[in-house]
Amino acid sequence: MITPRRVLVTGMSGLIGGIAGRHLAKSHEVVALNRRPVDGVPTFQADINDIAAIRPAFLGIDTVVQLAAYMGDDPHGYLTTNVVGVYNVFEAAREAGVRRIVFGSSGSTVTGYCREPDIVALMEARWHDVVEPRRLLTHLTPVRPDSVYGAVKVFGEALGRYYSDAHGMSVLCIRIGPVLADDWPHDSRQAASYCSHRDVAQIIERCVNAPDSLRFDVYYGVSNNRGRYRDIAHAREAIGYVPLDGITDWPMARPAR
């Protein structure tokens, strides 16, 4: 049985935030923390870089889904929104007694491995060069970002580990693969780590509904793609995530759903 919770979604005007928030609203009370109003959803309008402004949004909240992020080209944006802003979300949640944060991390935390020949073969859909059993990056694989964006997502995961240990919060991190507006990969690289709209909604919902005893963990949010080099077995075992979609070959025609 799913216990209805009061869920705060940050960044709900974004693609993933909108998908997740509206899906969660089917079984939970969802409110948004956003810089602009979100249609059809109660919205606290504030910037996560301003902790005083965002504090009221966390009152009475059971679970926070942290999806607000800066993804531009300005390093200052990463240091504000993705470092200071993420800290503000964790701290405001702690002050308000929030029991769980679902942190929207990224596969960029490990994309440094994409220089390795075996993973390059998968990303280029060169199936004849893939050696089985293939190497999969798991939640235990050391992080290896290849960008400032990936590095600050590593910071968010580490901050979550600290808040879980120091303050008893449940923090579940999802390393989300490419979620695309048209819900379909544009090249073989995206096809290897693609995450469908249905699958990103599912894994976030699974984290929100996970047992309270689950204190800290990291999962890969990807669909069951032929070129997949990120592990999904751990998410299946821990929270019951089973992808509904996947890219079974590349190139391939888009199936009807």
pLDDT average, residue stretch 101-124 = 98
Whole-number pLDDT of residue 148: 93
Mean pLDDT for 170-197 is 98
N-term to C-term CA, the chain: 28
Over residues 245-255, mean pLDDT: 95
- Model confidence at 2, pLDDT cuts 50, 70, 90, reads confident
Q: What is the mean pLDDT of residues 158-177?
A: 98
Q: Is the pLDDT of residue 214 over 90?
A: yes
Residues 6+ apart with CB under 8 A from 142: none
| Residue 74 C-alpha from the chain's centroid | 22
Per the annotation, the verdict on 149 as an active-site residue is yes
Vertex 66 angle, CA 217 and 168, to 5° = 50
Contact by Cβ (8 Å): 52, 37? no
Cβ density class 85-106: b for 16+ within 10 Å, e for less: bbbbbbbbbbebebebbbbbbb
**pLDDT per residue as tens digits for the range 35-50:** 999 999 999 999 999 9
Annotated catalytic residue, options 70, 78, 149, 229: 149
Determine the average pLDDT of the residues in 225-243.
98
**Is 56 strand, coil or helix?**
helix
Share of the chain above pLDDT 70, in %: 100
Residue of 138, 139, 141, 137 lying closest to 172 (CA atoms): 139
Domains of the chain: 6-239 (3.40.50.720)
Q: Is the pLDDT of residue 232 over 90?
A: yes
| 159 backbone φψ class: left, alpha, beta (φ>0; ψ -120 to 50) | alpha
Average pLDDT over residues 105-123: 97
**Distance in angstroms (rounded) separating the CA atoms of residues 60 and 55:** 11
Question: Mean of the pLDDT values across residues 148-173?
Answer: 97
pLDDT confidence of residue 184: 98
Mean pLDDT, residues 104-130: 97
Q: What is the pLDDT of residue 72?
A: 86
Q: Are 89 and 48 in contact (CB under 8 A)?
A: yes
Assign 75 a pLDDT band (cuts: 50, 70, 90).
confident
Report the number of secondary-structure helices (H) and strands (E) in the chain: 9, 7
Whether the CA torsion 192, 197, 202, 208 is positive or negative: it is positive
Q: Which of 110, 133, 132 is nearest to 219 (CA)?
A: 110
